[in-house]
């Protein structure tokens, strides 16, 4: 059963266009010009219960707007969506108790309170019993290794510690759907790894449906078997992460280490591919996928090859190429 269903969902923002100069400002008092900015344009997708899906796109693509509509913070201009059987923007109390939205650049904890008191406040809002709150808090703080920071003022926590507590606050009530917008933004690599491991464990342990946006491809590659790519408000790819490479990168990188340099080496390499990097007695060649086997056979026959390595294009490079075009 699909936990999230989206059909032809659109959101258009109305933006005031001020004319330049004092005269333009005065004219704007009587007659204003507005421009319609489509942020999300008739998108459709479905996410099954328990799936962990990456939601990718460049800045301004419509990712956060989509998450806010699924959370009920924004009304769509047209289309429909259902999350756990609820229409999000109707903001039914039963729905709000079953999902959570975490925005990496927004704080939900009280800045001047210790982390524990902020979390206790959240537990009261969701009507959790003291026993359930204590058990859940102990489990989550242990997994994220922040139990010793519970009595520290939120403003005195490091960015990584604060984000871990934001994640705990989002998961205190055991939501069935978790919407994450850049949860690792600005964190160091160690904190990013801790949060990735925690999310992977939580998804496997509790079957939580998670929709994640991130500009860190390590997050996507490690957590999300499936990705949805959006740009200019439209979805142009929805499928397995491995298929992104097959579809948008039609070549592989072959690195050759030679036992001895030959004057004709580069000419023989260029017959089958494009040299993208080289050094003393080694070359990195970009070769079409369908030609990799035949190219390697020919080079082994023609050149004194000491070592040969075949690699896929790094997924971050593939995504970067997609966004660039």
Which segment of 68-77, 179-188, 231-240, 310-319 scores lowest on mean pLDDT? 310-319
112, containing H or E segment: none
Q: Scan for tokens 């100069």, then name that residue.
A: 21
Output Rg (C-alpha) for the chain, integer angstroms.
25
High-pLDDT (> 70) share of the chain, %: 97
Residues 104-135 have pLDDT tens digits of 777 788 888 898 998 998 899 888 899 999 99
Geometric angle at alpha carbon 227, from 8 and 63, rounded to 5°: 55
Residues 137-177 have pLDDT tens digits of 999 998 888 889 989 898 898 888 888 999 999 999 999 99
Which segment of 17-26, 188-197, 234-243, 307-316 scores lowest on mean pLDDT? 17-26
pTM: 0.80
> Two tokens at 35?
């421009």
Instruction: State whether residue 78 is helix, strand or coil.
Output: strand
> What's the rounded Cα separation, in Å, for the pair 46 and 98?
18
> What's the rounded Cα separation, in Å, for the pair 175 and 98?
5
Residues 220-273 have pLDDT tens digits of 888 999 999 988 889 988 989 888 877 777 788 888 888 877 666 667 777 788
Q: Calculate mean pLDDT across residues 101-105.
A: 83
Are 114 and 150 a contacting pair, CB within 8 Å?
Answer: yes
Residue 47, pLDDT score: 94
Instruction: List the one residue out of 281, 249, 250, 253 whose CA is nearest residue 265.
Output: 281
The phi, psi pair for 308, rounded to 5°, reads -140, 130
Q: How confident is the model at residue 275 (pLDDT cuts 50, 70, 90)?
A: confident
First to last CA, the chain: 35
35, containing H or E segment: strand 33-48
Are 318 and 251 a contacting pair, CB within 8 Å?
Answer: no
Q: Higher-confidence residue: 308 or 211?
A: 211
Q: Scan for tokens 């759907």, then name that residue.
A: 177
Q: Where in the chain is the domain with CATH 3.30.70.980?
A: 249-324
Q: Where in the chain is the domain with CATH 3.40.50.300?
A: 2-246
278, containing H or E segment: strand 274-279
State CA 1 to chain mean position distance: 23
Contacts of 267 (CB under 8 A, 6+ apart): none
High-pLDDT (> 90) share of the chain, %: 33
Q: Calculate mean pLDDT across residues 92-97.
A: 90
Q: Which CATH architecture does the domain made up of 2-246 adopt?
A: 3-Layer(aba) Sandwich (3.40)
Q: Calculate mean pLDDT across residues 48-73.
A: 90
CA distance readout (Å), 98 to 166, 171, 177, 189, 301: 17, 10, 7, 31, 63
Residue 262, pLDDT score: 67
> What's the rounded Cα separation, in Å, for the pair 105 and 112?
18
Q: Which CATH architecture does the domain made up of 249-324 adopt?
A: 2-Layer Sandwich (3.30)
Which segment of 85-89, 175-179, 307-311 scores lowest on mean pLDDT? 307-311
Average pLDDT along the chain: 86
Residue 263, pLDDT score: 63
Residue 287, pLDDT score: 86
């Amino acid at each position: 059963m699909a936990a999230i269903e989206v059909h032809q969902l659109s959101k258009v923002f109305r933006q005031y266009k001020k004319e330049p100069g004092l005269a333009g400002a005065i004219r704007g008092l009587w007659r204003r010009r507005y421009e319609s900015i489509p942020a999300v344009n008739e998108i459709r997708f479905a996410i099954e219960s328990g799936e962990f899906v990456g939601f990718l796109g460049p800045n301004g693509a419509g990712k956060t707007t989509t998450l806010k509509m699924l959370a009920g913070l924004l009304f769509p201009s047209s289309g429909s969506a259902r999350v756990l059987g609820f229409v999000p923007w109707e903001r039914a109390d039963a729905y709000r108790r079953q999902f959570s939205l975490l925005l990496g650049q927004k704080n939900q904890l009280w800045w001047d309170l210790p982390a524990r008191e902020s979390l206790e406040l959240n537990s009261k809002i969701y009507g959790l019993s003291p026993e359930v709150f204590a058990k859940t808090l102990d489990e989550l703080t242990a997994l994220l290794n922040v139990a010793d920071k519970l009595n520290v003022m939120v403003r005195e926590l490091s960015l990584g510690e604060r984000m871990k507590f934001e994640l705990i606050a989002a998961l205190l009530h055991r939501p069935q759907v978790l919407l994450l917008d850049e949860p690792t933004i600005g964190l160091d690599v160690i904190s990013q790894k801790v949060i990735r491991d925690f999310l992977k464990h939580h998804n496997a342990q509790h079957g939580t449906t998670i929709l994640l946006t991130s500009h860190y491809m390590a997050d996507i590659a490690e957590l999300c078997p499936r990705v949805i790519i959006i740009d200019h408000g439209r979805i142009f790819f929805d499928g397995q992460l491995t298929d992104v490479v097959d579809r948008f990168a039609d070549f592989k990188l072959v690195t050759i280490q030679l036992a001895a340099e030959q004057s004709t080496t580069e000419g023989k390499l260029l017959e089958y591919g494009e040299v993208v990097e080289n050094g003393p007695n080694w070359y990195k060649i970009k070769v079409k996928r369908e030609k990799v086997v035949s190219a390697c056979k020919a080079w082994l026959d023609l050149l004194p090859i000491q070592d040969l390595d075949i690699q896929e294009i790094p997924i971050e490079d593939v995504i970067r190429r997609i966004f660039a075009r």
